[in-house]
Structure 1
Amino acid sequence: MGVFEFFTGAAGIVTAIISWKALLSKSDLEQVFLTHEQKIKLYYLKLISLSGLIAFLFGDLYILWSLTFKGKTAATADWNFAIALGFVVFICCLITLGAIEKVIQNLVLKSHTKYKVTLENIGEVYILKMMNEQLCICSKNPNADFYRNDIESILVRLEDLIQKPLIRVEIEVPKRPVLKKLFD
């Protein structure tokens, strides 16, 4: 590997870290205007970060347990097992944390936040998500995210929203059967 390849790889890693930091530092209002692709990147970034943190803690706890209760020293501790344990925990967390978070969110979540805007020809609409960089998907029903194909959606250009005041509103989650909450 030459010097050029090393610096090119290092520059790619730095660029990825900066773009991840930019995604993580978005406010709630800014996250409303993220595209679907950006939301997926943000979701997996958070999932990988949390899984890595949990895996690191499990590896550290194993080493701490070895040093404290087994009477080993840092030189005699089983570092290979700690690394393998951390890797296995990381993979297990990647597989399960997303599903667990979704179930807990569906069962525990009592309200959600939407941004409301008043448009001249339409009236009050709630911003659901971005279709692409130029179009927002809006609805007159703030709970449209919880229904499938039953709610009328309105496409609004982002340019039409720029000069309008956005109002943050807390809205109660609609009542749904428990099975629908679990598997939605």
Structure 2
Amino acid sequence: MGITAIISTLTVVIGLIISGRALISKTELEKLFFTNEQKIKMYYYKLVGLSGLISILVGDLYILWNITFGTKTGEKANWGFAIALTFVIFICCLISLGNLERVVQNFFIKSHIKFKVNLENIGDVYVLRMLKEDICICSKDPNADYNKNDLESGYILVKLDDLINKSFIKEKHEKSNMSIWEKLLD
């Protein structure tokens, strides 16, 4: 690999890290107005970062274990196996951490945060998510996202311009009840 390939690779990696950090460092209200594309980017950035941290930690612990209890020095440690172990743990974490996070959210987190805004002619509505860059999906029911089979929740499409200069109220709501199968397969 030439010097230009190394510089190009480093530039791409640094750009990805900076753009990912920019997404994660937003406030809760700013994250509410993320488009689906931005939410997916943020999810995978966090997933790859956490998987990388876990896999490097496991590889380091393996080397430390070999040096401490295996009467080996750092030079005689099995570095090839440590690198392979790190790579396998990274792939396994990429596959499993997303599902594990979803199960933990469905079984152990009992409440969610919604932002309420008062709109003229409509009244108080909860901002659920963005449909496009300039249109929000709102509802009078704060649990409308969790009632996937209930199409009568009354979704309201609101232009982002109508929400500017409005005051948002942050409220904590209990999640609606889901069956065991819905919690597992969500």
Q: Report how many aligned residue pairs link the two structures.
A: 184
Question: Alignment partner of 1:175: what SS?
Answer: coil
Q: For the structure 1 residues 8 and 85, does the alpha-carbon distance in structure 2 shift closer, same or farther, using more than 3 Å as the test?
A: closer
Specify the SS of the correspondent of 1:155: strand
Counterpart residue type for residue 157 of structure 1: K
Tell me if structure 1 keeps the 8 A contact 2:147–2:176.
no
Question: 3-12 or 80-89: which moved more?
Answer: 3-12
Identity rate, percent: 53
TM-score by length of 2: 0.93
| TM-score, normalisation: structure 1 | 0.94
Assess if the C-alpha contact under 8 Å between 2:35 and 2:131 holds in 1: yes
Give the stretch that moved more between structures: 1-10 or 135-144: 1-10
Shift of 1:109: 1.1
Deviation at 1:183, TM superposition (A): 1.2
Residue 147 of structure 1: SS of its match in structure 2?
A: coil
- Name the structure 2 match of 1:78: 78
For 2:77 and 2:110, how far apart are their aligned partners in 1? 47
Counterpart in 1 of 2:141?
Answer: 141
Amino acid at match of 2:59: G
Cα separation, 2, equivalents of 1:96 and 1:10 = 28
1:34 equivalent to 2:34? Answer yes
After superposition, the Cα gap between the structure-2 partners of 1:90 and 1:2, relative to the gap in structure 1 and judged at 3 Å, is closer
Q: CA deviation at 1:14?
A: 2.8
1:160 aligned residue (162, 165, 183): 162
Residues 180/85 of structure 1: CA separation in 2 closer, same or farther (3 Å cut): same
1:2 Cα offset (Å): 7.2
Superimposed CA distance per residue, residues 125-150 of structure 1 (whole angstroms, 9 cap, x where no aligned partner): 00000111111111110001112252
Aligned pairs for 1:1-184 (under 5 A) are: 7-148=7-148, 150=151, 151-184=153-186
Q: CA 1:165–1:59 in 2, change beyond 3 Å: closer, same or farther?
A: same
The answer for unaligned runs of 5 or more in structure 2 is: none
AA at the equivalent of 2:155 = S
After superposition, the Cα gap between the structure-2 partners of 1:97 and 1:4, relative to the gap in structure 1 and judged at 3 Å, is closer
Cα 1:79–1:15 shift into 2, 3 Å: same
Is there any run of 5+ residues in structure 1 with no aligned partner, and where? none
